[in-house]
Structure 1
């Protein structure tokens, strides 16, 4: 099977924005008296909506309070996010390789689209990505498949020719709900064991082997695939 379309999560899949995320969450949380929250606890929420993350970290469930925290986070992110976000070493090369193979490339993220643009426009031509869908572009966040389905409609692609790549169980659930193939990457806080619990083609240490995925049987054991290429 050769995929024509590769859709990526952003945080902890293409880029490490954890430093900026931790700063923004900590500034908001501590402003409201929520102290003693570890960096690891904050990083474990990456990929979830801001409201869900603040609820998990603070214990607050009141929608109006979570909405206010979200607004404050966005203001903090204007200062701290993009300057503290870095593509993983292999990201640019892998995406350029896929593009040169004729693939369509997209991003589906809970992160705001304009924030993703701030980063990708520094490293790629303006028309490099065929589609970017951020949190403001959908009514329901991942793991709801709305983002992937919207991308496939706009790109005029079928589920069977699409691969979704992400680092978290939220991403795995999203691919499963959208009925597209999934590849997990271990760039983030989610373990191989956690990702393996979901349907997947491969679980990779990073993106570097991704351009080889389409050349192999989707049911080839991951161990054999990795042995061939490491």
Structure 2
């Protein structure tokens, strides 16, 4: 196989979390008297750290954004977490890679505790050697930091070459996280990137479907 160490983003890459994430953002915004009925407008929240998104898209200061994140999680941890679907063919791809001797990691900006619950919910947790997300206290939210920790756990002795590793994700943040550590990146256009976002970020490859991703990884 082309790569032996594979880091996967979660949202928009392994699963489609749109309903859960956007509905929880709506819930948080309502707390501040902001009514946003169109959850399509909230798709940019899928991928980057929540705190950054509330600050950027709704011009909240850091403290208000922190409160918005807490409100978001109030609903997400019990309901929104499971308003989610695994992409068709993804479980089979993960199984194929694992059986082929690859080491797999999840590198997500979502808190690790939620990432693990989602992987277990979709019965794919067994395919991952390492699961790294952010912390609930707001630390390790940047993708470069997440990738760094995932690499440390995936290859603790530092024996693998960067050419054996790849980051797979649907947003520019995943590509940037890979670049920060001199890794190849595969952008998955079936996720939530804007038109041309992955190419502009400099993804090594861009695929349109899970099947194309499988063909690239297993050839």
TM > 0.5 fold call: yes
Equivalent residue for 2:164, pick from 161, 166, 181? 161
Q: Deviations over 1:153-206 (max 9, x none)?
A: 222243221110000111111111121000011122314522111333321112
TM-score (ref. length: structure 1) = 0.85
Greater CA drift, 102-111 or 205-214: 205-214
Separation (CA, whole Å) in 2 of partners of 1:212 and 1:142: 30
Alpha-carbon contact 2:22-2:42 (below 8 Å) kept: yes
Measured on the aligned residues, the alpha-carbon RMSD in Å equals: 2.1
Separation (CA, whole Å) in 2 of partners of 1:119 and 1:126: 8
Shift in alpha-carbon separation, 1:126–1:9, aligned structure 2, 3 A:
closer
Separation (CA, whole Å) in 2 of partners of 1:162 and 1:126: 20
Q: Who is 1:222 aligned against?
A: none
Q: Who is 2:123 aligned against?
A: 124
Separation (CA, whole Å) in 2 of partners of 1:125 and 1:192: 29
Give 1:134 shift.
0.8
Q: Who is 2:109 aligned against?
A: 110
Q: How does 1:199-218 map to 2 (within 5 A)?
A: 199-214=202-217
Alpha-carbon contact 1:10-1:109 (below 8 Å) kept: yes
1:2 aligns with 2:5: no
Separation (CA, whole Å) in 2 of partners of 1:197 and 1:179: 17
Separation (CA, whole Å) in 2 of partners of 1:27 and 1:210: 34
Find the structure with the greater CA-based Rg: 1
Give 1:213 shift.
2.2
Alpha-carbon contact 1:9-1:171 (below 8 Å) kept: yes
1:92 aligns with 2:84: no
Q: How does 1:37-56 map to 2 (within 5 A)?
A: 38-56=38-56
Shift in alpha-carbon separation, 1:3–1:38, aligned structure 2, 3 A:
same
Q: Who is 1:185 aligned against?
A: 188
Give 1:215 shift.
6.4
TM-score (ref. length: structure 2) = 0.88
Give 1:39 shift.
1.7
Q: Who is 1:142 aligned against?
A: 142
Separation (CA, whole Å) in 2 of partners of 1:8 and 1:188: 13
What is the count of residue pairs matched by the alignment?
Answer: 214
- Consecutive unaligned residues in structure 1, runs of 5 or more: 217-230
Q: Who is 2:179 aligned against?
A: 176
